[in-house]
Amino acid sequence: MEAHGPRTVLIEATRNILWIMSALPILSYHNVAVAPKDVPYKLLYVSPDRFERQLWTLRRLGLRGVSTSEGITRLSNCTTRGCVVFTFDDGYADTLTMAAPLLKQYGFGATCYIVSGAVGTYNRWDAEHLRETKPLMSRDQLDQWLAAGMEVGSHSLSHRRLNELPHDVARYEIAESRAALRNMLGVPIEHFAYPYGRFTADIVEFVRHAGYSSAMTVLRGVARASDDRLRLPRILVNGERGLWNFLLHVATPYERLRFRPRAQ
């Protein structure tokens, strides 16, 4: 049996500290806008003022927002220190008009996950449920997002619940959106985000087979070097919560300790 001397304790403590520090927070945003009155899920709206305060504070703390590509590379090289991945789901016009200028001003990168069959339209998949029609970026606006130094990923073809579809339809939703975005924008599309965060083992395999190198879930927690790149956890930025709550989740060990990884 191994002795529990001071050296063992020290090594264990150091290992734990390194484990905590090696984590990569991946933030998940939807709208950067003032929430309209009476909409459900106000938490999905982060006001531009609040968003700017978040960026300002992260920068003051020596942290930098990066795209999914940079985050994934750093995760594999164990150089995530000081990095926070910024992700935006659905591709709302306010991601370009409100978030991009601020991200650029602070020198941050970000990735926006686009529904390829809904470019230039609106949130058909939940407009009725949310009682709000929200415009999505047009092709021209996606070009502007890319020109601002930001990244595009795929959020499927039509934002359906992939786990509820016949396999061939799910496969098509995943693969076709990658091809469509690549053809439309002329850039590689390497990253995927599951609509509604829904996935199964089969869906993960379809994503792998379509050639994506990462996929975002809505599982809570921070990403680790040992995590499956096709089941990455994220931290949902709750627009109804203030700056201290944001920092608690993003810049302290809270999220790292509370949501320890699934047993390996």
Contacts with Zn ion, residue ranges (CB under 5 A)? 89-90
Locus of tokens 């799910």: 170
Q: Are strands 111-114 and 83-90 parallel, antiparallel or unpaired?
A: parallel
Is residue 28 within 8 A of residue 237, CB to CB? The reply is yes
Q: Measure the CA–CA gap between 249 and 235, rounded to whole angstroms.
A: 7
Is 126 or 176 the residue whose CB approaches Zn ion more closely? 126
Q: Which is nearer to Zn ion, 70 or 89 (CB)?
A: 89
For residue 226, what are the CA distances in angstroms to 18, 67, 221, 237, 259? 13, 19, 13, 24, 15
The nearest distance, CB 125 to Zn ion, in angstroms, is 8
Give the H or E element holding residue 60: helix 48-60
| DSSP 8-state secondary structure symbol assigned to residue 3 | -
Residues 6+ apart with CB under 8 A from 250: 25, 27, 58, 63, 84, 235
CB of 41 to Zn ion, least distance (A): 12
Burial of 182 (0-12, 13-18, 19+ CB in 10 A): middle
